[in-house]
Amino acid sequence: MLASSAAAIDNDDEQDSLPANPTAEPDARRSISFAIDNDALVSDKYDHDYSGGLNLTFRGNGVVDQFASLHKPLDWLDRQIGLDQRAGISPNSAQIEYGMYIFTPEDLDKSEPQPDARPYASLVFIASSHDRYQPAGEVSWHSNLTLGVLGLDIAGDLQDGIHSLTDSSNPGGWDNQISDGGEPTARYSLARQHLLYKNGSNLEIKTTAQGSVGYLTEASWGMSLRAGTIYTPWYSFNPELTRYGERSTPSDLGRASEHYFWTGFAVTARAYNVFLQGQFRDSEVTYDSDDLKLGIAEAWAGYTYVFKNGYSLAYSIRGQTSELKNGDADRSYFWGSLSITKFFY
């Protein structure tokens, strides 16, 4: 996976069709990415906790004007905290995500509430984000605004359909999910990334400090590494910004023959988690803040390959420590992710 003699491949033919400077005119480049998360992508033994998600992401200038775009309220929030002055530059990329993700208990056969288990929960969401690269000090800022709806029936219907196709047990407890019937929710997040070390086009190490308020209220710090044959800027690939089914896709130009291994970890102090505690509506199964662990840890590892036709393929495994102090859901859990991105040069 790591850089080897393959890194010395002659790229002269590629340069004829690709920009000479990968950081020039960032808004002129567009991409579309589709990702799927599932615990079965790690092992068929897993089918609980963060069970799966779908994500479709568009990147480029045009997303700001999409009918569902949240970039205007996102810009307003950024101004309120002085991000423009702090970063010193305007956003150099924008993206919009559409997606959903679900959580389930371990025992899917029970239709009655399971007080000591992980609650059924789901989120259908739209998210808009901006990236601001600050050359001075090698810093990048990422802001994100998500609006979503908890507790919709579509989550259970989709899982029932998938389980029917795979001849698996149909989950029977979706009527007990958090905010069953639907409830709006929101989250705003801000991350500061800093390039810690770079060795040519073969190795990058960066740190990320992140905070969010809303249905996930937390603060985190992490470190990530990317190693292999790398042409895109260090700030363009951000797996550390992933929160379950919400993710940051590659925000810059993919280069043919680019391929790299990536890994990292993060520690998080989480004050509120709607998928365990519920929101304003009454829910059958919820946990109090005293039942939740304040600190959690997360780690990930993956591999990305960019093809000559402008597509890239990535696979990763993520794991997270337990969020609960006691009960059947007091356990670490893992899931896998598979994503494909098409870059338009």
pLDDT averages per 10-residue partition of the chain, 345 residues: 37 40 47 90 78 90 85 93 75 86 89 91 95 88 96 86 68 89 97 94 96 98 96 88 80 69 97 96 94 96 89 93 92 93 81
> What's the whole-model pTM score?
0.88
Local structure of 146: helix, strand or coil: strand
* Residue 163: per-residue pLDDT: 66
Q: How far apart are CA 235 and CA 135, in angstroms?
A: 11
Length of the chain, please?
Answer: 345
**148-189 tens-digit pLDDT:** 999 999 988 887 777 666 666 677 789 999 999 999 999 999
Q: What angle do CA 53, 152, 291 make, to 5 degrees?
A: 75
Q: How far apart are CA 86 and CA 212, in angstroms?
A: 18
Domains of the chain: 30-344 (2.40.128.140)
Dihedral angle sign, alpha carbons of residues 75, 79, 82, 87: positive
Q: How far apart are CA 264 and CA 299, in angstroms?
A: 6
Q: How far apart are CA 107 and CA 170, in angstroms?
A: 11
* Residue 324: per-residue pLDDT: 94
Query: Residue 66: which residues within 8 A CB-CB, separation 6 or more?
Result: 58, 96
How crowded is residue 250: how many other Cβ atoms within 10 Å of its Cβ? Answer: 24
* Residue 60: per-residue pLDDT: 82
Token pair belonging to 199: 């060795």
* Residue 19: per-residue pLDDT: 39
Local structure of 285: helix, strand or coil: coil
Which residue type occupies 218? E
